Amino acid sequence: MKIQLKSTAAIVALSSLVAPAAMAEETIKLGLSVPLSGAAAVWGKGAEFMCETAADEIREDGGISVGGETYNFACLPYDNKYNAAEGTKVAQALLNREGVRYIGGSLGTAPVKALQSLAERQGVLVFTVAWGASLKGTDHPMTFTQMNTPGEILPVLLRYVAERHPDAKSVAMLNPNDATGQETEALASKVWTKNNVDVLTSDFYERGTTEFQPIAARLASMNPAMIDLGATPPADAGAIFKELDVLGWDGVKIVEVGTGADGLKATGGAAADGVYMGAGVTFDGDTVTDHQKAVNTRAKERIGESLNAVQIGFYDSLYALKAAMEKADSIEPEAVADSLPRVTFRTFYGGEIGFYGTNIYGRDQQMRLPIIVTQVRDGQLEEVARLIP
């Protein structure tokens, strides 16, 4: 016990030493709570990259001017390992050790819940891409969502698909057995029914699964006109479509919250053709700006794949914060949170947007991002419809 005490004292002293030295006064630290290890590490790494990209751009543009002073952002990415316990550790480290007062972005429903409960007590402003509906609403006045969630995407996407394929009247659904999967499934089955499509089955599978043959066999045996893989990550979805292809199933393919074509093509090959996605971002075609292309090229070098909507959220949040801080002329989180719903800012997707969501969530906490319906055609992701809500 004596030893414990000594070590504790030593560690306590040590941890205060090793904490990065206080930065220059004009820096605003943005904490990021993202997975940097494990299966979702690539999302976290991309998020870190996008946060840094936006911070660099803002610095080069002359920073944020509040009260005559110029401030700049610095990104502090911490690994939340996609679970609540690590999320708590990250929250403690960011809020209580680093003294962070803004969360530039956070990923993963469970760790974000852990972060949110601590952040709200301390009046810290939180941006998140997490989809849990319970994270939003009037109970959480300091939380803002930096990405489209199923609530925004599904009604648009599914109506579009139903209209394009009027003969397809049945769907089989599959989702990963996690928070996003469960949220997506609950909403999607409602929306399909509303569009007069019959839901034949709605299954879940464990994340980390690598053998999709049995799953594909089950889906194909229902003989559905459409297969909706909901929140299934692109790589898993590709593998499933490939197995379905082998089994001879041919119908309308949807990955509702599919975020990118790279993973889909990597595992699905030609079987990925025709897949509709609701959160995909394309970097080919005429509408893509040079800026988008350049950032995406650098991202590919850094993280190995094309940017997706999750990661782009970590770019947009910085411009939103900049706008709100300048409008409020303050760097106090409460004041910034107050002015956020009333500002517009330049999004990575192009154009000036603001916040909305009072109808659904009771307050304007959702970025008014365009909902882009994309489809894989001849191995390329193409934008087939864009709707700005």
Partner 1 sequence: MDNKRKTVLHWGLGGGAAILLSLVLTDPYLRSVLTLMAISALLAASLRFVMLMGELNFALAAFAGLGAYAAGYMNTALSVPFVLALPLAGLFTAVASALFGAITLRAKGPYFLLIGFTFTEAVRVVYSKIPALGGTSGMIGIYPPLSLDDWMAGIVVATSVILLLGLFAAERSDFGRILLAIRENENVARSVGVNTYLCKVIAMSCACFVAGVAGGLHAFVNTVISPGDFSYLLAAFALAYVKVGGENYFLGPIVGAVVLVALSHYAIGLGGSEHFLYGGAIIVAVLLMPSGILGAFGKVGPRSVETKVRAARHAV
Partner 2 sequence: MQHVIQLGATALQIGAVYILFSLGLTLIFGVMRIVNFVHGHIFAIAALVVASLLPRLVEGGFAAPTAYVLASLAGIGAALGLGALIYFFGFRHFQRDLVGSFILSIGFVLMLDGVLLSLFGGSVRGVPEIFPGTLSVAGAQITMQRLFLCAVAFLMAAILYWALAHTKLGKALRAVAYDHEAAMMVGVPYGRIAFLGFLIASFLAALAGALLAPVTIVSPVIGTDYLIKGFIAVIIGGLGSVPGAILGSFFVACIETVGGYYLDSSYASIAIFTLVIVVLLFWPKGVLGRG
- Residues forming contacts to partner 2 in the complex (CB under 8 A) are 37-43, 45, 177, 203-206, 208-211, 213-215, 217-218, 221, 234-236, 238-239, 246-248, 262-263, 265-267, 269, 303-305
101 touches, from partner 1, partner 2, none (C-beta below 5 to 8 Å by class): none
Helix (H) or strand (E) holding 304: none
Stretch that binds partner 1, among 9-17, 55-63, 66-74, 229-237 (CB under 8 A): 9-17
Task: Report, in Å, the least distance between residue 14 CB and partner 1.
Answer: 7
Residue 21 vs 359, nearer CB to partner 1: 21
Task: Report, in Å, the least distance between residue 265 CB and partner 2.
Answer: 6
Residue 36 vs 279, nearer CB to partner 1: 36
Q: 271: which DSSP letter? A: G
256 touches, from partner 2, partner 1, none (C-beta below 5 to 8 Å by class): none
What is the β-pairing status of strands 276-277 and 371-377? antiparallel
Cα→Cα distances 161→156, 193, 259, Å: 9, 13, 17
Q: Rule CB under 8 A: say whether 84 interacts with partner 1.
A: yes
# binding residues, partner 1 (CB under 8 A) = 56
Residue 204 vs 364, nearer CB to partner 1: 204
101-140 footprint of partner 1 as x/- string (CB under 8 A): --------xxx-xx--x--------------x-x------
Q: 369: which DSSP letter? A: P
Collapse the DSSP code of 2 into the 3-class scheme (helix H, G, I; strand E, B; otherwise coil) and give the result: helix
Helix (H) or strand (E) holding 241: helix 234-246
Classify burial at 304, counting beta carbons within 10 Å of its beta carbon; exposed 0-12, middle 13-18, buried 19 or more. exposed
Q: 286 and 307 in contact (C-beta within 8 Å)?
A: no
244 touches, from partner 1, partner 2, none (C-beta below 5 to 8 Å by class): none
269 touches, from partner 1, partner 2, none (C-beta below 5 to 8 Å by class): partner 2
247 touches, from partner 2, partner 1, none (C-beta below 5 to 8 Å by class): partner 2
Cα–Cα distance measured from residue 171 to residue 260, given in angstroms and rounded to the nearest whole number: 22
Residue 78 vs 283, nearer CB to partner 1: 78
Angle, helix 41-60 to helix 290-303, in steps of 10 degrees: 130
Among 57, 120, 178, 338, binds partner 1 (CB under 8 A): 178
Contacts (CB under 8 A) with partner 1, residues 346-385: none
Q: Rule CB under 8 A: say whether 20 interacts with partner 1.
A: yes
Tokens 């897949």 — which residue?
Answer: 275
Q: Rule CB under 8 A: say whether 39 interacts with partner 1.
A: no
Q: What is the 3-state secondary structure (H, E, C) of 24-49?
A: CCCEEEEEEEECCCCCCHHHHHHHHH
Task: Report, in Å, the least distance between residue 312 CB and partner 2.
Answer: 16
Compute CA 159 distance to the chain's CA centroid, rounded to the nearest angstrom: 22
* Radius of gyration for the alpha carbons in the chain, expressed in angstroms and rounded: 22
Query: Please, which residues bridge with residue 125 across strands?
Result: 102
